[in-house]
Amino acid sequence: MSGVGSFFHEDEHPWLHKRVRDVASRGEGQLTAIVHEETNGRTVRVAHIRPASGIEWTTAADNIQLIP
């Protein structure tokens, strides 16, 4: 896991700005951020993905795969 910087974003995630697949929805797009969010007293890692349509969605960071 990369260091967490401003706004709880992982500053140096190796897949940032690369094409990824969300295994939960089977959607594909560019990884724009991994954010640490607190929910129910625990921290979860949330991936933000932007497809060609430009309408970004989120999924658990563990749900993403790098597209070669």
Domain boundaries, the chain: 6-66
- Options 2.60.120, 1.10.3470, 2.30.30, 2.60.40; CATH of 6-66: 2.30.30
Give the global pTM: 0.84
CA distances from 56 to 3, 16, 29, 63 (A): 23, 14, 9, 15
Q: What is the mean pLDDT of residues 21-25?
A: 97
Mean pLDDT of the chain: 90
Query: What is the rounded CA–CA span in Å between residue 64 and residue 15?
Result: 10
For the chain, give the percent of residues with pLDDT over 70: 90
pLDDT at 54 over 60: yes
Q: So what's the pLDDT on residue 1? A: 45
pLDDT at 5 over 90: no
Q: What is the 3-state secondary structure (H, E, C) of 5-54?
A: CHHHEECCCCCCCCEEEECCCCCEEEEEEEEEEEECCEEEEEEEEECCCC
Q: What is the mean pLDDT of residues 20-44?
A: 94
